[in-house]
Amino acid sequence: MDASRVLKSVDASKDEMVSTLSELCKIPAIPPESGGEGEADKFALLADILDDAGLPKGRDYPSKDKRVPGGKRHNLVVRMKGESAVGRIWVVSHVDIVPPGEQSLWKTDPYKPVVKGGKIYGRGTEDNGQAMVTSLYAAKALLDCGAIPKRDVMVAFVSDEEVGSRHGIQHIISEGIVKPDDLVVVPDSGSPNGQYIEVVEKSHLQLRLTVRGKQCHASRPNKGINAYRAASAYVTEATDMLYAKYDRRDRLFQPPYSTFEPTKKHANVPNVNTIPGEDVSFFDYRVLPGEDLDAILEDLKDLGRKHGRSSGARFDIETVSVSEAAPATPVGSPVVKALSASIKAVKGVPAKPLGIGGGTCAAYFRRAGIPAAVWATIDEKAHEPNEYAVVANLVSDAKVFAHMFLNA
Check whether residue 40 and residue 102 sit in a common domain.
yes
Which residue range is the domain that position 292 belongs to? 207-323
Q: What residues contact 115, with CB distance under 8 A and at least 6 apart?
A: 18, 22, 121, 391
Residue 2 pLDDT exceeds 80: no
Give the closest residue to 115 by CA, choosing from 399, 392, 398: 392
- Output the average pLDDT for the chain: 96
Residue 87 has pLDDT above 70, yes or no: yes
- Statement to judge: residues 241 and 389 lie in one domain: no
Do 143 and 10 lie in one domain? The reply is yes
Catalytic positions are: 96, 161
For residues 136 and 265, membership in a common domain is answered with no
Domain tally, the chain: 2
Domain shared by 258 and 313, yes or no: yes
Q: Are the beta carbons of 231 and 285 closer than 8 angstroms?
A: no
The CATH number of residue 215's host domain is: 3.30.70.360
Residues 373 and 396 in one domain: yes
Same domain, 28 and 160: yes
Are 314 and 308 in contact by the 8 Å Cβ rule? The answer is: yes
pLDDT 10s digits, 262-281: 999 999 999 999 999 999 99
Would you say residue 334 has pLDDT above 90?
Answer: yes
Q: Would you say 55 and 141 are in contact if contact means Cβ atoms under 8 Å apart?
A: no
**pLDDT given for residue 399 in this prediction:** 98
* For range 278-304, the mean pLDDT: 98
CA distance 320 to 400: 39
User: According to the model, what pLDDT value does residue 127 have?
Assistant: 96
As a whole number, mean pLDDT of residues 109-116 equals 98
Of 304, 323, 342, the last residue of a domain is 323
Residue 359 has pLDDT above 90, yes or no: no
Task: State pLDDT tens for residues 147-204.
Answer: 999 999 999 999 999 998 999 999 999 999 999 999 999 999 999 999 999 999 999 9
- Kind plus residue range of the DSSP H or E element containing 20: helix 14-24
pLDDT digits (tens, 9 = 90+) for 115-138: 999 999 999 999 999 999 999 999
* CATH number where 162 lies: 3.40.630.10
Angle in degrees, CA 39, 45, 51, rounded to 5? 135
Q: Among 86, 100, 89, which residue's Cα sits nearest to residue 36?
A: 100
- pTM of the full predicted structure? 0.89
242-257 pLDDT, tens digit each: 999 999 999 999 899 9
What mean pLDDT is predicted for residues 360-385? 95
Question: Among the three residues 306, 323, 340, which one is the final residue of a domain in this structure?
Answer: 323
Q: In what order do the strands lie in the sheet with 388-390?
A: 114-116, 119-121, 388-390
CA 191 to chain centre: 14
Calculate the dihedral angle through the C-alpha atoms of 144, 146, 152, 154, rounding to the nearest 10 degrees. Answer: 0
Which amino acid belongs to residue 284?
A: D
Q: Report the percentage of the chain scoring pLDDT > 70.
A: 100
Q: In what order do the strands lie in the sheet with 76-80?
A: 59-60, 76-80, 151-158, 84-94, 183-186, 372-374, 196-201, 352-356, 253-254
Q: Which of 323, 349, 373 is the last residue of a domain?
A: 323
Note the pLDDT tens digit of each residue in 9-59.
Answer: 999 999 999 999 999 999 999 999 999 999 999 999 999 999 999 999 999
241 and 119 within one domain: no
Residue 223 shares a structural domain with residue 280? yes
Give backbone dihedrals phi and psi of 279, rounded to 5 degrees, phi first. -140, 130
Please tell me the predicted confidence (pLDDT) of residue 85. 80
Whether pLDDT at 1 is above 70: no
As a whole number of angstroms, the distance between CA 264 and CA 208 comes to 9
Assess whether pLDDT exceeds 80 at residue 402.
yes
**Same domain for 228 and 114?**
no
Are residue 270 and residue 188 in the same domain, yes or no? no
Q: What are phi and psi of 144, to 5 degrees?
A: -65, -30
List, in sequence order, the alpha helices (H) in 165-224: 169-174
Q: Same structural domain for residues 228 and 362?
A: no
